[in-house]
Copies of this chain bind each other. A is one copy, B any other.
Amino acid sequence: MSSIENNETLRVINERHSVKKYEAGFVMPEEDLTAILTAASEAPSAWNLQHWKFLVIESEADKAKLLPIAYGQSQITDSSVTIAVLGDLEANRNAVIYDQAVEAGHLKPEIRDALVGQINGAYQSPQIARDEAIRNASFASQNIMLAARSLGYDTCPMGGYNPQQLIETFNIPARYIPTLLITVGKAAQPARPAGRFPLSDVVVRGSF
C-alpha cells in the first residue's frame, strides 16, 4: 500500500473537479468507457442489490435531444458522453443476484429466503426505496467520476436538468429515478477550483 504522499487514489480524489468546457469532438475509446462503467458497477450497495442503471448518451442525435433537457448547457454537446445515472426504485427485484450463490452452495436457500423477505418488507416503503435508489446510485456516480479522472478525463456532475423530460425523451421506465447526469470528456479548460470548508467544520469527534 502506498504512503499518503505518493498515493495515486488520493491524488485522483483531490484532482477531481467539475469541468464544464470540453474538447468538442473527442471520441472516447470504447475500452475507456467500458473501464469507467465497470468501475461504476463495482460500487457497494445495500444488500448488494446494485440499485443502478447507466444510460449512456453519446450520439450526436441523442446529445441534441438532451441539450434542452439540460437547459442548453454546452457541456452536453462538447463532452464525449453523458452518463445518466438512474436509481432503481424496485431494487428488491434484484435479489435474484443471490440465486447464483445458492446454486454454487455458498448461501443456504433458507438464508436467501429470509433476506428476500426482509428486503421485500423494507421495499413496502416508497421513502426507503427512493432513499436507497439515490444513495446507492450515488456511490456508483462517484466511482464514475474518479475512474474517469484516473484515465485522464474530466467530468461534471449535473443536477440542473428536467428529470421528467429526461424520462419521457429516453423512455426511462417508471422503475428508475434519474439521480444525476455526468458529462465525461477531455477538458478544454481546467475547472474553477471550488472552496472547501476546513475539516474542523465538517468533522465531529465522538459526539455533538
Chain A interface (Cβ within 8 Å of chain B)?
Answer: 1-2, 4, 7-10, 12-14, 16, 18, 31-32, 34-35, 37-39, 41-44, 46, 48, 50, 52-59, 62, 94, 97, 100-101, 106, 130-132, 134-136, 138-139, 141-143, 145-147, 149-152, 157, 159, 170-173, 179-180, 192, 194-197, 199, 202-208
Q: Complex formed: what's the CA distance from A14 to B204 in Å?
A: 30
If A131-B134, A170-B207, A171-B207 touch, whether A41 touches B9 (CB-CB below 8 Å) is no
If A50-B197, A50-B202, A207-B171 touch, whether A134 touches B138 (CB-CB below 8 Å) is yes
Structural contact, A147 and B10, CB atoms closer than 8 A: yes
Q: Which of A10, A106, A134 has the most CB of B within 10 A?
A: A10
Q: Complex formed: what's the CA distance from A44 to B141 in Å?
A: 10
Q: Complex formed: what's the CA distance from A13 to B149 in Å?
A: 13
- Chain B residues, CB < 8 A from A31: 4
Structural contact, A16 and B38, CB atoms closer than 8 A: no
Expressed in whole angstroms, the minimum distance between the Cβ of A134 and any Cβ of chain B is 5
12 contacts between A and B (CB under 8 A): A7-B151, A8-B8, A8-B150, A9-B146, A10-B147, A43-B142, A56-B204, A56-B206, A58-B205, A135-B180, A136-B138, A170-B208
- Chain B residues, CB < 8 A from A57: 206
Q: Complex formed: what's the CA distance from A179 to B59 in Å?
A: 36
Number of copies: 2
The 8 A-B residue pairs with the shortest CB-CB distance in the complex, in nearest-first order: A138-B138, A1-B152, A9-B150, A142-B142, A8-B8, A171-B208, A139-B142, A48-B194
Expressed in whole angstroms, the minimum distance between the Cβ of A93 and any Cβ of chain B is 12
- Having A2-B151, A135-B135, one finds 10 other A-B pairs with CB under 8 Å, namely A9-B9, A9-B12, A13-B39, A16-B44, A46-B159, A50-B197, A100-B195, A135-B138, A138-B138, A173-B208
